[in-house]
Amino acid sequence: MRGILESWRRLRLGWAVALAAASPALADPINGFSEQFVQPPVASWHVAHYNFSHPAFDTDWSRKNLRFDQGLHLSLTPQTSTENRFLGASIRRDTPSHYGRYEAVLHPARGDGIVTGFFTYTGPHYGTRHDEIDIEFLGQDTTQVQVAWFVDGHLRSRKIPLGFDAADQPRRYAFEWHSDRLRWFAEDKLIFEVTEAESPLPKEPGYLFANLWAVDKSVASWAGVAAEGTSAQAYVGHMQFAPLITLTSGLGTALATGRLSP
């Protein structure tokens, strides 16, 4: 059964996109995608490049700190004579997406005050309330991952022990966004789930991001403080999204829920 599930996971994206094109019964109108970042993508992605003013960030964004080469390489570097002490890297998908499975191969950075993120976000800048779903690695302890979700700007989060050090090597991480629950995975193992009966859940379609940044000293109790002159690197092997599909057939149900009956 495990072998069947693994094969199905690897084929999920192709099936989901094909079925989405064939069926009008979609939980998400946005087609799936899979990006390997072998070279700079010609469309669909935006690389941040600007001075960033946010109370939790000690980081501006530079496109020079993001490199495409058999994956996505993100750097954190120090800067001087500026309000923020660091330059980080951030990339965003241009098209919002909604319910489905979000997956990435991630090798987060290690170090006090450093955060590696993979998340969906939308907010007032995009004309909506602030809804967000996060996978975040706090560099001061990469043996755990922080899962988080915002609903109308209100944060809820958990720190989950992984049983390994995420900064040792690239691994696959994912979250599934359903209308009635959120589920987070590490190496295809379910590590946390929250249902609508337990908590409000995000509902607004969001933009998919990956980033590397240093926190402001004001939130040092959360993630520590990066020392002066700190540099760090993170890696994203691929990012992909498979939308949920509602079909009446048994195969459609399996695709939509991520489950195959034994």
Residues with catalytic roles? 132, 136
The Cα 189–Cα 151 span in angstroms is 25
Amino acid identity at 232? A
Neighbours of 9 (CB within 10 A): 17
The Cα 146–Cα 91 span in angstroms is 20
38 closest CA partner among 240, 237, 242? 237
Provide the 8-state DSSP code for 19.
H
The Cα 60–Cα 56 span in angstroms is 12
- Cβ–Cβ < 8 Å for 124, 130: yes
Angle (deg, nearest 10), helices 2-22 and 250-257: 100
- Give the helix/strand (H/E) hosting 20: helix 2-22
Neighbours of 230 (CB within 10 A): 19
